[in-house]
Structure 1
Amino acid sequence: MATPRTVAGFLLALLPLIATPGASLALLLRQITEHGRRRALPVILGTVTGLVVHAALALAGLAGLTAHHPGALTAVRLAGGAYLIGLAAWTWRSAGRAPTRRPRHDSPAFVQALLANVLNPKAASIYLTLVPQFLDATRPLPAQILTLAAAHAALLATWLLGWTTLLARTTPRPRPWTTRATATALLALGLHALA
């Protein structure tokens, strides 16, 4: 298990990365704008589940594989960029449509957030480059990685919950321009990932 001091240092190193707006925040804005505050939860859960996937891959040794095969990270980056561009197109097309008042289930928001995180090169790089800097070779690695992943998930969920509170209070009712602004942000993130 990682020491409290190690966890604190890891969270401090993560804070600038989490504070940088990305796909999760764009998806959160879209869901709150179109469906209200309760639709934030599937986005937060999908994003956090994506972190669990990255931690599991790190535990499984993907970090070592990627270090020896740089093309694997490039493949993740390209897939993530393509996914964000597709999501941007879908979001743009949905602008102006009347949102459903009572969605039957929350899985689309969850799945979108999960895929956006799993295919996010920034999230992958945290577990490939940053996490190893906070591991102690004399302690069991799985417990340390799980502790750091849990701390990461808690910090990110808290950050997104803070944004949820802010957006729920300040976001006007759905308008095509807010949906198109979200689509533009997703497109920019996708193009940046492909660059």
Structure 2
Amino acid sequence: MDIIASLPTFIVAVVLISASPGPAMALIMRRAALRGLAGAVPTVLGLEAGLYVWALCAGAGLAALVAASEVAYVVLRAVGAAFLLYLGVKAWRAAWRSRKEGPAGEAGPEAPAASARTWWKAFGEGALVMLANPKAAAFMIAFYPQFVPADQPLLATTALLALLQVAVEIVFYLGLAAVVGRAGAWFRRPAIRRRLDAVSGTVLIALGLRMAVESR
């Protein structure tokens, strides 16, 4: 198989995967709505850092060990589900506090530029959501070998393909965040933000529960 000839198919697959609803999309949409494009950047980079780690693990054969180990798979699934539930409950609490405080208790629009601590917190949330998802390990094992020629080194080729995937997803997600961020002032209106928190919290909790109960 010619790896160059397979790149268009690879890119199309990556775009379709990126557009699929899931924890990554939910996190990015909420972050962009409340913090704008700049606020969504650390979340996107954290998710992509986690994805790249899993890709390297897949190339090195470690992801296969995780996917094959029942204990490791269950532990990762429990951690990932718990973190999604935590993020969902956090969003629900924000909606409830906003409801109790009312318009007078609402802060002004959040500044897109965040402190270093806030930046790294958002980056860490994105990375943890990706790294604690055992389905990501299983996906990498199944996805990358299709595009790695038999005569090419698996780890090095996977690392290069993963860089391409990360680049494509960063462009896609930041483009989406930019579109959502343009309506940031509307999303930050007290009533709209309260509904956004409630809806995003419900989505994150549903995703966490699905991760907790679904089988391989």
TM-score by length of 2: 0.79
After superposition, what is the alpha-carbon deviation per residue over 1:101-128, rounded to whole angstroms, capped at 9, x for unaligned?
A: 4632211111111111111234322212
Question: 1:153–1:113: structure 2 CA closer, same or farther, 3 Å change rule?
Answer: same
Tell me the residue number matched to 2:197.
179
Aligned to 1:64: 64
Contact 2:187/2:196 (8 A) holds in 1? no
Q: Whole-Å Cα distance in 2 between the matches of residues 31 and 58 of structure 1?
A: 29
Query: 1: CA distance between counterparts of 2:47 and 2:62?
Result: 20
Hey, what's the Cα distance between the residues in 1 that align with 2:13 and 2:73? 21
Task: Report the count of equivalent residues.
Answer: 194
> Residues of 1 paired with 2:127 and 2:152: CA distance?
30
Equivalent pair of 2:54/2:63 in contact (CA under 8 Å)? no
User: How far apart, CA to CA, are the structure 2 residues paired with 1:122 and 1:16?
Assistant: 17
Decide whether aligned partners of structure 1 residues 163 and 140 sit closer, same or farther in structure 2, where only a CA change above 3 A counts: same
Q: Which amino acid aligns with 1:91?
A: A
Q: In 2, Cα distance between the equivalents of 1:6 and 1:71?
A: 36
Secondary structure of 1:156's aligned partner: helix
The answer to whether the Cα contact below 8 Å between 1:121 and 1:193 also exists between their aligned partners in 2 is no
User: What SS does the corresponding residue of 1:36 show, helix, strand or coil?
Assistant: helix
Displacement of 1:13 in angstroms is 2.9
Distance in structure 1 (CA, Å) of the matches to 2:30 and 2:176: 12
User: Is the contact between residue 40 and residue 164 of structure 1 (CA under 8 Å) also seen in structure 2?
Assistant: yes
Instruction: Please report how far the alpha carbon of residue 100 of structure 1 lies from its aligned counterpart in structure 2 after TM superposition.
Output: 5.3
What CA distance in whole angstroms lies between the structure 2 residues aligned with 1:25 and 1:64? 25
Give matches, 1:1-195, under 5 Å: 3-66=3-66, 68-95=68-95, 96=98, 98=107, 101=111, 103-105=114-116, 106-171=119-184, 172-174=186-188, 175-195=193-213
Offset at residue 20 of structure 1 (A) = 0.9
Deviates more, 1:16-25 or 1:59-68: 59-68
Distance in 2 of aligned mates of 1:92 and 1:70: 33
Q: TM-score, normalised by structure 1?
A: 0.87
Give SS of 2:152's match.
Answer: coil
Separation of aligned partners in 2, 1:34 and 1:162: 16
Identity %: 32
How much is the aligned-residue C-alpha RMSD, in angstroms?
2.2
Tell me how far 1:71 sits from its aligned partner: 4.1
Q: Distance in 1 between matches of 2:166 and 2:85?
A: 25
Matched to 2:133, the amino acid is N
Structure 2 gaps, min length 5: 99-105
Determine the C-alpha separation between the residues in 2 that align with 1:125 and 1:104. 35
Change (3 A) 1:182 1:67: closer
Q: Give me the whole-angstrom Cα distance separating, in 2, the residues matched to 1:12 and 1:33.
A: 27
Question: Which stretch shows the higher mean deviation, 57-66 or 67-76?
Answer: 67-76
**Offset at residue 69 of structure 1 (A):** 2.4
Distance 2:147 2:137 in 1: 16
